[in-house]
Amino acid sequence: MRKLENKVAVITGGAMGNGLGIAKVFLKYGAKVVILDYSDELEHTIERLQSTENEVVGYQVDIREKEQVQAIIDEVGKHYGRIDIVVNNAGICYLETFENMTDEVRDRHFDINIKGTWNVTKSALPYMKKGHAAIVNLSSVTGPMVADSGEVAYATTKGAVLAFTKALAAELVNDDIRVNAIMPGYIRTPMVENMAKISNPENPKSVVDGIASAIPMKRMGTIEELGELAAFLASDEASYITAQGIVIDGGSTLPETMIMGV
């Protein structure tokens, strides 16, 4: 029996990037996957993922809108009778210095990365109290561990997601709901590629190659590798793990400096 066999899993931001990797791996392990995403790519993603063996549906939703989220989660919960897994993956990152960042861009980070995670979790919770359940939140090494210039808004929200994870885990432990966070370093996603284009529009590949060269493993992670970690944390294999932030970064937070060493 596959480790997520017949588990009902709600994944936000699953149309592309890390969310797509999570959805693909969850389907491989037998989950019934429900993707919530605002992107127009959602329809194409669902078409690619559907097969005779896969049960996957998608809802186009803005997770900032509490009423939208509640209506869709209610539909999912009533259809399946329960929700076993929630993966709060949806998030944004726009690079801008603290002094130059507008309130609108700041609020967009907070509304999607924090409030969206809050909205989906709170809506799903009543349907998760029917057995072993798991929540997996996407934090980051950025914020809790490291940061670069231009990441103040993003880093603030990802630090908040980790704090949310720990506090929520304490509240839900007696409901048999585990809550953990994944803290990725650089994973090769459209978000990272877009950041590279902004950094160097004429040669974004040089930015990507430069990032990879600074990672001890000399490469970025894949969305499927992140998906495997999410599947582990969502499965009964991780039954004694809660309130943790698990780093997946190829060792990028390891070096004390980039020049010392023998």
Query: Is 154 annotated as catalytic?
Result: yes
Which one of 59, 94, 127, 154 is the catalytic residue? 154
Q: What is the pLDDT of residue 262?
A: 57
pLDDT higher than 80, residue 257: no
pLDDT higher than 90, residue 22: yes
Task: Give the three-class secondary structure for 239.
Answer: coil
**The whole model's pTM is what?**
0.95
What is the rounded CA–CA span in Å between residue 224 and residue 188?
10
- Map out the domains of the chain with their CATH numbers: 8-184+224-247 (3.40.50.720), 188-221 (no CATH)
Burial of 253 (0-12, 13-18, 19+ CB in 10 A): middle
pLDDT band at 31 (very low <50, low <70, confident <90, very high): very high
Among residues 184, 209, 210, 207, the alpha carbon closest in space to that of 196 is found at: 207
Q: Could you read off the pLDDT of 135-186 as tens digits, one per residue?
A: 999 999 999 999 999 999 999 999 999 999 999 999 999 999 999 999 999 9
Q: What is the pLDDT of residue 192?
A: 84
What is the rounded CA–CA span in Å between residue 83 and residue 98?
39
Residue 89 C-beta-side C-alpha neighbours within 13 Å: 31
Residue 262, token pair as written in the block: 């023998």
What's the mean pLDDT when you consider all of the chain? 95
